[in-house]
Amino acid sequence: MREALRWARRCLVGAVESPEVEAEILLTHVLGRSRAQLYAGADDRLSAEAAERLGELVARRAGGEPLQYLTGHQVFRRLDLAVGPGVLVPRPETEMVVEHALGRIAGVASPVVVDVGTGSGAIALSVGVERPDATVWATEVSPEAAAWARRNLDRLGAGNVTIAEGDLFSPLPANLRGAVDLVVANPPYLAAAQLAGMAADVRDHEPLVATVSGPSGLEVPARVVEEALAWIRPGGWLVMETWPGQADDLLALLSARYAEAAVHPDLTGSLRIAEGQKRPSDPVR
C-alpha cells in the first residue's frame, strides 16, 4: 500500500497542485477506505484489480481530468454531491455565495428562491436543505447538467426544490413573476479568450456552457441582471458569483438597475459576491 501511494504521488507531481493529497484520495476511492483506514493498513498488499484501477485513475488525473469526475462526488457545504462529465464541479468560493444569499433571506418567512443555471444543484439544494421552509426553483439549460441536478435531488430528497430545464428564467411558471424573494446565480463569466489560459480540467473537461459566457465574459451575467428584475419582488435580492476581473463592470450594470449594489470579497479577499436589491418603486414587467 505504501509503495502504491508513493507511485501515485510520483505520477501526479507536476500535473496537479497537491500530488500527495490527490494520491491519497484516489487510493482511498479505489479501496473504499477512509484515510485513517488507509494508513492503518499501510503494509497491506494491493490486489491486482485495485492496482489496475488505481493506475487508470492516476493516468486520467495526470491528463487533466477533474479529480471529482474520477471519484464521482464533491462535498459542498453540508452536501455530498454526485458530479461527473457534463456538469461544472462546485467550488469552495461558491459556498460563500450561498452563505451570503442565505443571509439575504434570513428574515423572510417561507421565501421563494430561484437558482439560475443550477448545474449540479449545489446552490439550490444547499438553500433547500438549510431553509426547509423555502420554495426553491432551479433552472438549467444543459440537459446533461440538469440530469446531475436531478440525481442529487433524488439522493437528498429535498421536496422543496424543483428543477426546471431551460434557459435562465424561461422555464419558470408565470405566477412567480414579481414574487421571488431571492435570485441567486453562478453564471458562466469567462471571456472566450481566457479559456486557453485555464487549467486543463476546466479547459478540456468541464462544460463550456458553464464556464464561457462569450467574447467579453459579461454576456450571460448581463442577461441575469436584466431579466431577474421581472421576477424579483420589490425589495427582493439578486446575488451572483463573479470574479475580480469582472467585478467593476458587473457592479456598474447592477448599480444602473438595482439599489444597494455591491461586490463583496470571499474569504481569500477576492471580489466574488455581487448583489443588488430591487427598488420598491420598480414595477413588475
The answer to whether the CB of 24 falls within 8 A of the CB of 67 is: no
| CATH architecture classification, 2-63 | Orthogonal Bundle (1.10)
pLDDT at res. 43: 77
| All three cell numbers of 1 | 500500500
Per-residue pLDDT of the chain (285 residues; tens, 9 = 90+): 789 999 999 999 999 999 999 999 999 999 999 888 888 887 788 899 999 999 999 999 999 999 999 999 999 999 999 999 999 999 999 999 999 999 999 999 999 999 999 999 999 999 999 999 999 999 999 999 999 999 999 999 999 999 999 999 999 999 999 999 999 999 999 999 999 999 888 999 999 999 999 999 999 999 999 999 999 999 999 999 999 999 999 999 999 999 999 999 998 999 999 999 999 876 555
According to the model, what pLDDT value does residue 284 have? 53
CA distance 82 to 256: 38
Contacts of 220 (CB under 8 A, 6+ apart): 117, 168, 187, 188, 189, 213, 214
Residue with cell string 423572510: 108
The pLDDT assigned to 285 comes to: 52
Largest pairwise CA distance in the chain: 70
The whole-number pLDDT of residue 226 equals 98
| CA angle centred on 39, ends 38 and 45, rounded to 5° | 65
DSSP percent split of the chain into helix, strand, coil, nearest 5: 45, 20, 35
Q: Decide yes or no: CATH 3.40.50.150 for domain 73-277.
A: yes
- Of the candidates 126, 141, 144, the one whose C-alpha atom is nearest the C-alpha of residue 206 is 144
Candidates 231, 225, 228; CA nearest to 251 is 225
Query: 210 exposed, middle or buried (CB, 10 Å; 0-12, 13-18, 19+)?
Result: buried
Question: Would you kindly state where each structural domain of the chain is located, as residue ranges?
Answer: 2-63, 73-277
Alpha carbon 15 to its chain's center: 23
**How many residues are given for the chain?**
285
- Residue 20 is predicted with a pLDDT of 95
Letter string b/e over residues 187-201, b meaning 16 or more CB atoms within 10 A of that residue's CB = bbbbbeebeeeeeeb
Q: How many CA atoms lie within 13 A of 72 on its CB side?
A: 5
Cα–Cα distance between 56 and 223 in angstroms, integer?
42
The torsion angles phi and psi of 260, rounded to 5 degrees, stand at 55, 35
pTM: 0.94
Beta strands (DSSP E) in the chain are 73-76, 79-82, 112-116, 135-140, 161-165, 180-185, 190-191, 212-214, 232-241, 259-265, 271-277
C-alpha 159/C-alpha 143 separation (Å) is 21
Identify the DSSP state of 230.
G
Residue 256's CB is within 10 A of a number of other CB atoms, namely 11
Strand spans (E) along 200-246: 212-214, 232-241
